[in-house]
Structure 1
């Protein structure tokens, strides 16, 4: 504690009293829930980080403050500070949801032909779907009949799920088709087209059931990147050593890209000889939904369809 005073005849301050002895390390700043480590202070620290890393986690922020400032704050303070920083940078999520009605009208005014669906229940937002005219028209007229489906959870105050559908353009680049914000994955959808599409997604059970019910004429395939990650994780849980696990993953990947029955079964036999556990694990992942050999749809001569996500 230091007590200072300003001299009247000079524009100077002088120290009247100073306590040199400290009873705690760092003046108490390392204590949990320190009163000076408010969420506003946390927000000022994390704001510059969120500009470059919007998905920066509250737990990482908590560790950063402890490492760099010696401040051990509760997780709730870190989370609230991050939320406050996001609000100062991007506005309030509540206001954004309230503006969806206005946004829907403006889209239909400036982008006629777009497909938008907005639902409210009891005055509260429930679902929002949008596909701009250029997106769905471009997919129908100029893209390969392949759709990639994925979802991600929203971790703001209101939670929810973001669903996206992406295609491939003529140059093999990613082409946005549609997006939806909803509470959870919803399997109730009356849309059942007769078009033959190739749907590529992870093995989410909700997506599996929805594709089966809503796209009965389409081929549903699994993303090889997600499969390999799950396969590697499952082999680790079963106790396979790292070198053996990596060898099995490479063999499975070659099996996924094999186009002929002979090539596919050669890879399967090699995997079986390498590890019966790894072979059985691969069979449990439904090869008919990701191996090129089993693929029933129209093949592209310039594209390894199941390697797109790799």
Structure 2
């Protein structure tokens, strides 16, 4: 196997991440192990967090905004990946940190958010954290001072609010109104659309009214979101790594490194265009300044030397057999909970397949008579 077995990949992960740290000083790797394996004495993998130095430094020149999301890994074990992302002054996504956990829970999210606070935020005030409404995240945020007033705030992804709303009421008109009311910036218009929802369904109105308005609406946000309504930033990185999510863990970590190197090289190659002869610096936030944009990507990655030069880690690591997925024939099934957004995509694919089938049926067969 090119990437090794699942078990050997976990054993190699500490050495691989150690090499990334060695050749890129300032890169952060944090571990939280489970109990030792009684037969081998090796640690059972629990959580691992990593963030690359150029990304950490680049965040200092970005919006005061962090998007977090979790995604399933399609491996032999029930691992999940957590992703944190930011947005620079040119509205481009900058990935900040990654983590491998066993499950999304209060403990795992609290551990991840604390690593973000310690290694990414580093005392910076005024951070807005955007996430979905996963119970583990919402509870963990309340125990992380960096994301609570007066230091920062927590906001919900509007797309997920609308998805949850539509899953409950299954009404296209109401779903459209939900998005409109959440994305409206004027309180007067917000109130008008809420009244329209109330006229359509009192129960739907009450469901939305129970959610803190400042957490999901642009009109009551207070300017914290920087006009970012969803967690599409972290979803973008999730999409880029989609193919890697079926690989063993060390291969996934290597993929995040290679993608980061490629992204920073592209940013370095961009030329700074001439600006208008108008001094608008005092009219915009610092992150929109050309120098801030250049500083976001001013750091660089160093190549990792041959494995022969890697240091031997001070501990051994093995998989947790209790989270192994039972083997079954055929393709591994995804374990993510599917929502109405998935159903819409599936319906679109089915319609496209039907159109293709009908088109193919209209093509005359060679030698056939009309």
1:1-80 equivalence runs, <5 A: none
Structure 1 residues without counterparts, runs of 5 or longer: 1-87, 237-244
Contact 1:257 1:307 in 2 (8 A): no
CA displacement at 1:146 relative to structure 2? 0.8
TM-score under structure 1 normalisation? Answer: 0.63
Q: CA deviation at 1:297?
A: 4.3
Q: Which runs of 5+ in 2 are unaligned?
A: 37-41, 118-122, 234-370
The match for 2:134 is 204
Provide the residue aligned with 1:280 in structure 2: 206
Give the number of the structure whose alpha-carbon radius of gyration is greater: 1
Question: Does the 8 Å CA contact 1:130/1:180 hold for their aligned counterparts?
Answer: yes
Q: TM-score scaled by structure 2?
A: 0.53
Partner of 1:309: 232
Partners of 2:172 and 2:212 in 1: CA distance: 20
Q: Which residue of 1 aligns with 2:59?
A: 139
What is the distance in 1 between the residues matched to 2:92 and 2:22?
29
- Tell me the secondary structure at the aligned position of residue 70 of structure 2: strand
Aligned length: 211
Residue 230 (structure 1) aligns with: 164
Change (3 A) 1:152 1:299: closer
Cα deviation per residue 1:105-124 (whole Å; 9 max; x = unaligned)?
A: 21122111111112333021
Cα–Cα, structure 1 residues 212 and 294, in superposed 2: closer, same or farther, change >3 Å?
Answer: same
Contact map agreement 2:131 2:231 (CA 8 A) in 1 = no
- 1:154-180 alpha-carbon deviations (Å, 9 max, x no partner): 342221221110111222122100011
Which structure has the highest strand share of the two? 1
**Do 1:219 and 1:296's aligned partners in 2 also have CA atoms closer than 8 Å?**
no
Structure having greater relative contact order (Cα 8 Å, sep ≥ 6): 2
Q: Which residue of 2 aligns with 1:168?
A: 87
Render the CA deviation track for 1:14-50: whole Å, top value 9, x for unaligned: xxxxxxxxxxxxxxxxxxxxxxxxxxxxxxxxxxxxx
The answer as to whether partners of 2:70 and 2:83 remain within 8 angstroms in 1 is yes
Q: In 2, Cα distance between the equivalents of 1:253 and 1:102?
A: 47
- What RMSD in Å do the two structures reach over aligned CA positions? 2.2
